[in-house]
Amino acid sequence: SVSSAAPARAAPAPQGDRATIAEIAAGLLARPAATSPKYLYDSLGSKLFEAICELPEYYPTRTEAAIFARHGEDIARHVQPGSTLIDLGAGNCAKAAGLFPLLRPRQYVPIDISRDFLNEAVSRLQQRFPDIAMNALALDLSGPFVLPPAVEQQRRVFFYPGSSIGNFAPHEAIAFLRRVRENTSRDGGLLIGVDLVKDAAVLDAAYDDAIGVTAAFNLNMLRHLNHLLGADFDVRQWQHVAFFHAEESRIEMHLEARAALTVRWPDGERRFARGERIHTEDSYKYTPDSFADVLAQAGFATDAVWTDDAGWFAVIHARA
């Protein structure tokens, strides 16, 4: 007779460094369990995020792009040409590249956590814009960071589009922007995209789209955690949950266990009850006033604010 028993799954060796493994394990063992949203971005995660940006429900990307298209010349007047444009969380670099003809930077410094993804994007971009010096940096911006000497000191303008600032809690956003300000020259500034508070139904749909790309993006974190931690998450046992929490003014993303289960890794394990969640991401939504307050607490002075007609998204220039 033929045996139908599946072979036992071999435990994969953890690929993360010690600090990463310790951080992930501590998060999984916490109650409620939580993981840093940075683990959403392995190479596939970065591609899934690119796909999210094309979804009709995910309004931030196209709304921000429309603001740049409509107010680009005014924005360029505030930023001024010849700057050192430092792109925080650059991803595929497409947003900054679209602004090169207007902003005309002297040097472009894209920073991203995903080295492979970044290198691919920059080598393509350098061919299109041979006159702009490009220095790609693979840096984790969730801790303190110092830019290497290759980055020009003069006219450092930090570019932080896409409302990535929203993935920090407000106190973390302030601390992060303070660190940015410490790396900014006195004649420099910050050009930042900020997602604004709006109708909850619009927000909920943006983070739980009809064809499940955001669900795949969230679930893919489990594959990444298996890789880093050597864990045995069975992705099929989990489901994507996302909703707007009005009191906290944030979208929350979670992964919810579909059944009681145990996740194991080389140095530990965690039992999850059916319906128990891992909190994987927050995405804070601001008003122009509440964000001006964040900037002020980080030592930046708001210089100009551009929004779309519906007031869904803001592009803000601040001076150091």
Cβ 236 to ligand AVI shortest distance, Å: 21
Q: Which residues of 122-134 are buried (b: 16+ CB within 10 A; e: fewer)?
A: beebeeeeeebbb
- Nearest residue to ligand AVI, scored by beta-carbon proximity: 283
Nearer Cβ to ligand AVI (84/163) = 163
C-alpha Rg value of the chain to the nearest Å: 21
* Minimum gap (Å) between residue 242 Cβ and ligand AVI: 7
- Which residues, numbered 154-173, are part of the site for ligand AVI (CB under 6 A)? 162-164, 166-167
- Picking from 220, 215, 184, the residue whose alpha carbon sits closest to that of residue 39 is 220
Question: Which is closer to ligand AVI, CB of 59 or CB of 265?
Answer: 59
Burial class of residue 276 (count of CB atoms within 10 Å of its CB; 0-12, 13-18, 19+): middle
Q: For residues 25 and 190, which CB has a smaller minimum distance to ligand AVI in the complex?
A: 190
Q: Which is nearer to ligand AVI, 37 or 188 (CB)?
A: 37
Q: Interface mask (CB under 6 A) for ligand AVI, residues 281-300, using x and -? A: x-x-----------------
Query: How many Å separate Cα 99 from the centre of its chain?
Result: 20
Subset of 255-284 contacting ligand AVI (CB under 6 A)? 281, 283
For 270, which DSSP code? E
Q: How far is the CB of 319 from ligand AVI (least distance, A)?
A: 24
The answer to whether 271 and 293 are in contact (CB under 8 A) is no
Helices (H), the chain: 18-29, 43-52, 59-79, 94-103, 115-128, 170-182, 200-206, 213-229, 288-297
Residue 108 interacting with ligand AVI (CB under 6 A): no
The rounded distance, in Å, linking the Cα atoms of 120 and 256 is 34
What span, in angstroms and rounded, lies between the C-alpha atoms of 303 and 315?
11
Q: Does 52 bind ligand AVI (CB under 6 A)?
A: yes
CB of 214 to ligand AVI, least distance (A): 5
- Cβ nearer to ligand AVI, comparing 83 with 214: 214
- In angstroms, the CA 122 to CA 63 distance is 25
- Shortest distance in whole angstroms from residue 290 CB to ligand AVI: 17
Region for residue 200 given its phi and psi (left: phi exceeds 0; alpha: psi -120 to 50; beta: otherwise): alpha
**Which CB, 83 or 283, lies closer to ligand AVI?**
283
Asked if 230 interacts with ligand AVI (CB under 6 A), we say no
Provide the mask over 60-79, with x wherever binding to ligand AVI is found by CB under 6 A and - wherever it is not. x-------------------
Residues in 191-210 at the binding interface with ligand AVI, rule: CB under 6 A: 207
Binding site for ligand AVI (CB under 6 A): 52, 60, 162-164, 166-167, 207, 214, 281, 283
